[in-house]
Every structure is written in C-alpha cells, then in structure tokens.
Amino acid sequence: MIRVLCWLRAIGLVFFVLFHTLVCSFLVIGLLLLHAPRSWVDWAIGPLWCRLMVRVSGLKVDVFGIENVPRARGFLYLFTHSSHLDVPVLFSASPKSFRFGAKSSLFKIPIFGYAVTLSGTLPITREDRNKVMEVYRQAEERVARGEAFALAPEGGRRQGGEIKEFKSGPFIFAMNARMPVVPVVICGVDQALKKGSLLINKDRWIRPVAVSMLPARELGPDWDKEQLKEFKVQLRNEMVAEYQKLSRSYLD
C-alpha cells in the first residue's frame, strides 16, 4: 500500500513542481521588478521554492557542520552533484542565501529563465571556458559585497559512482575573488531523483538525505597552477572520504 502511495505522490509531484516553480518564478520576477528588498527575494527562492519542494517530496535533510559556514562574508559552496534536487536540498540546509551556477540552457526556459537571470544565477556555458571565466570575473564584485555562491566542481551531474575529478574554474573564481570555499557533500539525493527520471522519491515515503558542510578553506591569492592543482586534489580526497562515510547510512 505504501509503495502505491509513493508512486501516486511521485506522479503528482511532477505537476506540483512545474506549477510551484512557475508561481515562484513569477513571484521572484515581480519582486525584483518592483525593487523589493533582497530578503524578500531570498525568502521566495529559499523557504518558499526550495524548502517547500523538499518537504512535500518526503526528504528529511540531516545537516552536519553548519557552524562551518562564514555568514558575515561572501563565500563559495563547492558541492557534490548527482541530482537535480541537489540545489533545493542545499538551499533548505544553508543558513545563508546564495546564488548558484546553472547550465546556460536553463536560461532559455520561458519565465523560469528570466527569473533566474534577474535573481543573479550564474550562467555556465560548459563548452566555452572563456565565457565561463568572464561570468566568474563579473561576479567578483558581488562577492566583495557579501554574496555567497554555489558551484559543482564536478561540472555536470554524475550518475552514481565515485565523485568525479574537479574542474579548475570554480577554484580560480574563489582565488581571484579572495573568498573561502566551503566543501559540501550531499548524499542520498540521487536515490530520490535519479538521472533521467522525473519521479521523485517513488519508492520511499520518507527518505533521509545528508548535507555535510566541511570546514571553510582559504586559497592563496597568488597560487600558481601546481599549488591550485594540489589544493583541488586534496579537497576532493576529503570530500570523497566524507561521502564514503555518509554512504553507509544514507545509501540503500
């Protein structure tokens, strides 16, 4: 009986997520065009769009290391990426609002694309590194004003398996903007929404997932390529170890 209810909810969630995202997109556009306070826009994106979506999907988010988030300055979340739900889950766990990097094709979606553009989401054109680095360069002054960002150093979503090798772009962005990075390991979300599927949490009524925020790390302002590479490898090793630890409790 529970399995049947899970499937019915998962099918209903397809329509709910579409409608909910459309409503929140209109709300964000309206607030920004009316020059509403930033806190109102953050409320529309975080608690209303992301946290409500996560809650109705039956995800129970366990958060570890929240004390590692530097709330008084700009910083960069570097999160493991295996599901479309990673960003909403991270929003629901984060004590501070942030803007994320999204593949450029999402900006072409009517209404939603306009909303994420106005809200300051970073367009990531994966096949054009120069364009991506220019986006990062333009965002540096926003970091100086205290904004936080979230990027997936693996690039695109992986489909299960080990965390992929990290791209250099997010690390160069952090180094040039002189902001700390907060490594974030997300575990179990890909089992709630697998790559290529539209059905969320179709086999569990309540599914615990984990968000582990590791201690913030500073990059040297003038590191060379070798120092940056060494830091990137070391950080990935730490995140792989944390993912393996979490997987014992949060993967079926």
Termini Cα distance of the chain: 20
d(CA 157, CA 103): 11
Q: What is the pLDDT of residues 234-252, one digit of tens each?
A: 999 999 999 999 999 999 7
Q: What is the pLDDT of residues 94-151, one digit of tens each?
A: 999 999 999 999 999 999 999 999 999 999 988 888 999 999 999 999 999 999 999 9
d(CA 63, CA 66): 7
Give the global pTM: 0.94
HSE (CB half, 13 Å, CA atoms) of 14? Answer: 9
Which of 25, 17, 43 has the alpha carbon at shortest distance from 193? 17
Pairing of strands 207-213, 181-187: antiparallel
Domains (range + CATH), the chain: 2-250 (3.40.1130)
Contact 216, 180 (CB under 8 A): yes
